[in-house]
Amino acid sequence: MGKLLIDPKAMLVLTILGLFAGLLTCVGVQHFPLQSTEFFPFSGIIFALAFSLYSWWFECLHSPWRILSFFIASTAAFYIAMFAGALGIPLIRLFIEGGESNAENLKTSAVFFGGLFGTALVASARYLFLSNSQDHKALLRRLGLITSVGGVLGAAGFALGPSLGTAIWDLLQLLHFVAPSQSSMGGHSLDTASFFSMFVMWQTGIAPLLALLFPYSPISAETPSESSSPHPRKGPLSFPMWKKALAVAAFLFLVYFLIKGIRSERQIASLEAKTRKEVAQRYAEAPPLDNLPAVELLPPDKVLILHDIHGYVPVSASVQNYSPADPRPPLPSDAVPARSYIVVYEVTNSGQRFHSLEAAASVTQSPNAEWANYRMDHPIYGGPSTLSPPSVRKVSKYGNTIYVNTLSFKSATGRGSFCYAWPSGNFEVDLCLAEPADEEFLRQYLTLHPSSLN
């Protein structure tokens, strides 16, 4: 592999630098803009900056083009590593069995796969922009070694999230660098802990290896002297145009995704602002939420028709209670108590032994008539009065004004169905029929719950 000249002082400095860069990366992913999904792939910028400063300060590599080129390429490496890990998942699935039960193994394997690409890119950037030239065979062996180590460090670090990652999180919390409310490491935070340990392990281990396997020496980087001069001319080697082109390509790659991320973040912010405005408007239009009467519990047979209607048999009658959501939900309809009485009707096909769903009825009880009317006009799940507006209209049936929607329901038989809805006092009635001719359902429910719609 070639003789490696180990400088203990440089190895110690780079190990400490990698450790602090890893910890700073962990802090960065918890604060804007790195906590954003769009900007998270730019997390590699901290390690790239740390190693670039090392090369400038400790190795005295005072070439702005080379330093900047490594910084750009190393930052792009983490972005590309994430792409590689995602694209490698289908290939990894071929070697991992168990599906959902092995989800964590799949994630760790994807990190290993991405770590191989990311490490190879960072090492290549170090060699191309900040290192002396090497024999091709030695170069390939060293690239293979550091790439393998990088993949293992990344995967091992990610797998140690519940232990090492949690410890790092607790340390940063103690130093007030992360929010205390997230210290439980539950839910999504468990993945964050895995990234914490991955960042720290990879950067701590790879930083000294880069300098060890791809060294830079100002003396060996001297420009060969001209034949007329007895002494070599001091100074770094020239920076070829093709290397500059690589750096520019990496820069354009980052700029493209940076602009894309900024646009996406602005769209998300605009959508969130619009949503907040709509929620405020909905609450402004809603009836009062204070001093609402309790929703009386009624026997289902007082609210639903539980006998045969025109040959259809009621089955699966149920009652669902809705408690006010806390904290305040986006839809005011979720902020009040309610109770839904639901029944479906089946018919036995002539000469057949199976049943098929042909009709369904839902009667929702609100605290008062104001809320029943509001829920009808602002349904939680998109009821007949708002779903597919071109298909919704008011009709008069048996002396009552009700809504009809011809596109909002499909029966088990696959035939188009007609849905009717109307408020009745503090009740909201929804009735779906397989055929418009089956209006005996409608007549009987209108008799039981006369419409209060004007």
Model confidence pLDDT, tens digit, residues 147-193: 999 999 999 999 999 999 999 988 988 888 877 644 333 334 667 88
* Burial class (CB within 10 angstroms; exposed 0-12, middle 13-18, buried 19+) of 421: buried
- What is the reported pLDDT for 183? 38
Tell me whether the omega of the peptide bond preceding residue 300 falls within 30 degrees of 0, making it cis: no
Pair (200, 105) in one structural domain: yes
- What is the reported pLDDT for 383? 41
Q: Are 303 and 296 in contact (CB under 8 A)?
A: no
CATH number of domain containing 353? 3.40.1000
Measured between its terminal Cα atoms, the distance across the chain in Å is 88
Angle between helices 166-174 and 188-213 (to 10 degrees): 90
pTM: 0.63
Query: Has residue 295 been placed in a domain?
Result: no
Pair (262, 387) in one structural domain: no
Pair (95, 204) in one structural domain: yes
Q: Can you tell me the mean pLDDT for 355-381?
A: 79
Pair (255, 339) in one structural domain: no
Query: Has residue 120 been placed in a domain?
Result: yes
- What is the reported pLDDT for 35? 60
Query: Has residue 410 been placed in a domain?
Result: yes
Q: Which of the pair, 441 or 221, is modelled with greater confidence?
A: 441
Q: Are 454 and 401 in contact (CB under 8 A)?
A: yes
Pair (86, 202) in one structural domain: yes
CA dihedral 147, 51, 81, 202 (to 10 degrees): 60
Digit-coded pLDDT (tens) for 336-358: 889 999 998 887 654 444 455 57
Q: Which of the pair, 22 or 332, is modelled with greater confidence?
A: 22
Domain that includes residue 387, residue range = 301-448
Pair (391, 326) in one structural domain: yes
- What is the reported pLDDT for 30? 80
- What is the reported pLDDT for 312? 79
Q: Count CB neighbours of 418 within 10 A.
A: 22
Q: Can you tell me the mean pLDDT for 261-265?
A: 86
Query: Has residue 116 been placed in a domain?
Result: yes
Query: Has residue 258 been placed in a domain?
Result: yes
Pair (130, 243) in one structural domain: yes
Which residue, among 82, 27, 34, 17, has the nearest Cα to 258 in the 3D structure? 34
Tell me the one-letter amino acid at 27: V
Distance CA 387, CA 407 (A): 8
Query: What is the number of domains present in the chain?
Result: 2
Which residue, among 367, 391, 380, 376, has the nearest Cα to 452 in the 3D structure? 376
Digit-coded pLDDT (tens) for 63-102: 898 999 999 999 999 989 988 887 777 666 666 554 444 6
Pair (196, 311) in one structural domain: no
Pair (152, 191) in one structural domain: yes
Q: Which of the pair, 389 or 297, is modelled with greater confidence?
A: 297
Residue 199 CA to chain centroid, in angstroms? 20
Per-residue pLDDT at 427 exceeds 60 = yes
Per-residue pLDDT at 415 exceeds 60 = no
Query: Has residue 422 been placed in a domain?
Result: yes
Pair (239, 378) in one structural domain: no
Tell me the one-letter amino acid at 326: D
